[in-house]
Chain A
């Protein structure tokens, strides 16, 4: 229960940040990706500043977290361990980038912008979830093992 409460709080901050930074607005994101508009002065570098703002907080925050023995409400920190660059990483990132460029939505902003109640957002999120399910059933991890063994 405590894990759920903290996750909701973290989500609230994250979602508010996406809204304040306007990253939940696809037109704003497409204006950043539109490097072809640089010569005409129409390029919008805001997304890069969002990334910088997020890193200014996350970098020292993670340094602090690594000095703690354990999280507040969980048994251990689940830091990613993989450092290799493989075909799946690159191919997946290429496909993700194409989808991102077609609409201007990546997963976080797409979910957060459901707050504006637009039917286009609902369609995109449902298609995104379908894409995740298709991955799981084709190239995803095998889940034949009984639940207790996982």
Chain B
């Protein structure tokens, strides 16, 4: 486990949690990114404005952390063009159909002890692990 980074993972996780708690205490909203993005790009009222603000913040926060040197200066993307497009379509469609992603179900839902979110998190973790297994050890192996 040479690549295991528990300290930055714990600190980064706590920052994510702080953002989630702040959005709830200030705006009274769950910080589920798939829901926020889905409603920001297909507005159904004036609430799209805070949603776009949150998305701008996400990008800005990552940029600031990288510039400050507390996050990697580069990221590694291995997916080919068909995988990027297919993966993006599946993530977009699947998170809307399943009403959430790693933030809405995985963090907010588990913090609320919601059985619905626990089920969703177990399913997408298993599905993601199975996909990587096939890609790396069945096809790639």
Residues of chain B lying within 8 A (CB to CB) of residue A45: 1, 4
When each residue 1-43 of chain B gets 1 if its CB lies under 8 Å from chain A and 0 otherwise, what string results?
1111110111111111111111111111111011001100110
Q: Which of A53, A97, A101 has the most CB of B within 10 A?
A: A97
Q: Is the CB of A132 within 8 A of B92?
A: yes
A81-124 vs B, Cβ < 8 Å mask (1 yes, 0 no): 01111001111111111111111111110111111101011011
B window 54-99: CB within 8 A of A: 54-66, 70-72, 74-79, 81, 83-99
> A20 touching B70 by the CB < 8 A rule?
yes
Interface centre among A22, A71, A108 (most CB of B within 10 A): A108
Number of A residues near B (Cβ < 8 Å) is: 121
B16 is contacted by which of A36, A53, A80, A89 (Cβ under 8 Å)?
A53
Q: Cβ of B61 and Cβ of A12 under 8 Å apart?
A: yes
| Cross-chain contact B136 with A102 (CB below 8 angstroms) | no
A132, B107: Cβ atoms under 8 Å? no
Q: Do residues A19 and B66 form an inter-chain contact, with CB atoms below 8 A?
A: yes
Chain A residues with Cβ under 8 A from B132's Cβ? 30, 33-36, 101
- Find out whether the CB atom of A15 lies under 8 angstroms from the CB atom of B60: yes
Interface residues on B, range: 35 or more
Which A residue's beta carbon lies closest to that of B41? A129
Please indicate the chain A residues that have their CB under 8 angstroms from the CB of B98 in the complex: 88-93, 95-96
Residue of B75, B89, B106, B109 near A99 (CB, 8 A) is: B89
1/0 contact trace for A36-50 toward B, CB 8 Å? 110001111111011
Whether the pair A102, B13 counts as a contact (CB closer than 8 A) is no
Contact B16 A50 (CB under 8 A): yes
* Nearest chain A CB to B20 CB, angstrom units: 5
Q: Which residue of A lies closest to B95 (CB)?
A: A96
Given contacts A7-B50, A91-B98, 20 further A-B contacts (CB under 8 A): A7-B23, A7-B54, A11-B19, A12-B19, A19-B61, A21-B9, A34-B133, A45-B4, A53-B16, A71-B26, A79-B112, A96-B101, A97-B130, A98-B87, A101-B128, A102-B86, A123-B85, A123-B88, A131-B93, A132-B95
Chain A residues in the interface with B (C-beta under 8 A): 3-28, 30-31, 33-37, 41-47, 49-59, 61-62, 64-65, 68, 70-80, 82-85, 88-108, 110-116, 118, 120-121, 123-136, 139-140, 143, 147, 150
Supply 22 A–B pairs (Cβ within 8 Å), ascending by A: A4-B53, A13-B15, A14-B16, A16-B15, A17-B17, A19-B71, A20-B15, A33-B129, A34-B136, A41-B2, A58-B111, A71-B28, A77-B28, A80-B112, A89-B116, A93-B98, A95-B94, A96-B91, A98-B94, A98-B131, A106-B95, A135-B93
